[in-house]
Amino acid sequence: MSFKQVQNQYYAKLHFGEASSVALAPIVGLCVTLAVWANLHVGLSRRNSGILLKALGLIVAGYDIESPTAGIPQDIRSAYKGMLEPEIIRTPCCPTCYKPYTMQNLPTLCDWEKSPRAVPCGTTLWKQVQLRNGTRKKVPKCFYPTQSFESWLQFFLSRKDIEDHLEKTLQRRSSTCPAWRSLGNFLLSRYHLVFGSYVDWFNPFMNKIAGPVVSYGVIVLYCLSLPIEVRFNLENIFIFGLIPGPGAPNVWTITNVLIAFANMMSSFALPGKVLPTYQNPAGTHVATPVVPLIADLQAIRKVAGYMAFNATQFCNWCLLTLNQIENLDYQSWTLRNSRTVSDQAKAWHDAIMITHKNELSKQSGVRWSPTVAARSNFLPFWEMPSN
């Protein structure tokens, strides 16, 4: 397939209301790109950008009498929606426990429970807002916005430079590092991408001594298959979602946040999904495990399913207890076993009483988390004590 054919297919998929013909698709795309560029880089106002789009539509329509605007959007916001904006999924959720719902099954009060015999959350999930015309509308109180990983991967792999980088690093990945070699046959294809995850919370109003504490979270993925010099470029980083505030989830409610993340990533386990790339526009299998987790002490224990740094079983690597924290003889440490940790997490998950869950986590230092349940179908590459 030639570049011209790929370009025509791409522009033909743009949803700008009135579909343009295949012959005009490249011209429509160039006109929209010009208006977006003028708005972003030249500073053309939204109103004037709309005027520019309308003028370009009238000019191009001269070649297609049946389409008065040739499929060119009349507003710059429509241009962004069709070309540049990522695919965002806004999931209604409880503002207290973050349990996800759909618009069709969103109840009045949240019904999430810590355990089968616990009291439901009970938070009100709806609120009234006033519209410009004076009427009032009932809307969800909180949304959990996430980005489509599949859509972003298509953008990521549609760039020639990415495919070149992946080809150069393929052999080096499989031979230089024990961590890479531990993935075995997974590295046989350059389209078997390895990602790392980063989770943290931040104050959008900056750090202030006075005033209320506000905290929002972010889940970010970065591609370890890329060379280090381009790995952390903004265009190569995937932001999965923003965890709503103003408070941070605790060790119980973090599970509701991570289920969506784990489900999304598990869909790209081997053999992966067929996605178009720059060199394979017809599509090829793309698989993407998430191996390392990067976070601070507090976040890493929430996400990875371990107890706090001051718990009796405080370490996620070994079985030292808090009263042995000054033991620096690493040869005497008993390391955790992945299968054992997985069984302990499952036992915590299956416990019916909250008191029983607390007893199990105190004894083992482990609780259940979607991202590290090694026997679940979420992330089969996650080796719990090692990552």
pLDDT of the residue at 220: 92
Burial of 42 (0-12, 13-18, 19+ CB in 10 A): exposed
Instruction: Examine the domain organization and report whether 152 and 298 are in the same domain.
Output: yes
| Residue 14 confidence (pLDDT) | 45
Mean pLDDT of the residues in the chain: 78
Residues 194-247: pLDDT tens digits?
888 888 888 877 766 666 677 888 899 998 888 888 888 888 999 999 988 888
The number of folded domains in the chain is 4
What's the rounded mean pLDDT across residues 58-80? 69
Compute how many other C-beta atoms are within 10 angstroms of the C-beta atom of residue 95: 20
N-term to C-term CA, the chain: 42
Would residue 165 count as lying in a domain?
A: yes
- 130 and 157 housed in the same domain: no
Do 283 and 236 have their domain in common? yes
- Residue-wise pLDDT for 317-373, tens only, equals 888 888 888 888 888 888 888 788 888 888 888 888 888 888 888 888 888 888 765
Please report the pLDDT score of residue 59 as a whole number: 81
Residue 375 resides in a domain: no
Q: Given this model, what pLDDT does residue 20 score? A: 44
Same domain, 180 and 276: yes
**Within this chain, do residues 238 and 255 fall inside the same structural domain, yes or no?**
yes
Segment 88-94 shows an average pLDDT of 89
Q: Is residue 387 part of a domain?
A: no
Share above pLDDT 70 across residues of the chain, in percent, rounded to a whole number: 79
**Residue 273 DSSP class:** E
pLDDT of residue 345: 85
* Domain containing residue 68: 3-83
Whether 374 is covered by a domain: the verdict is no
CA distance 188 to 286: 12
Distance CA 203, CA 205 (A): 5
Asked if the structure places residue 68 within a domain, the reply is yes
Task: Choose the final residue of a domain: 281, 304, 327.
Answer: 304
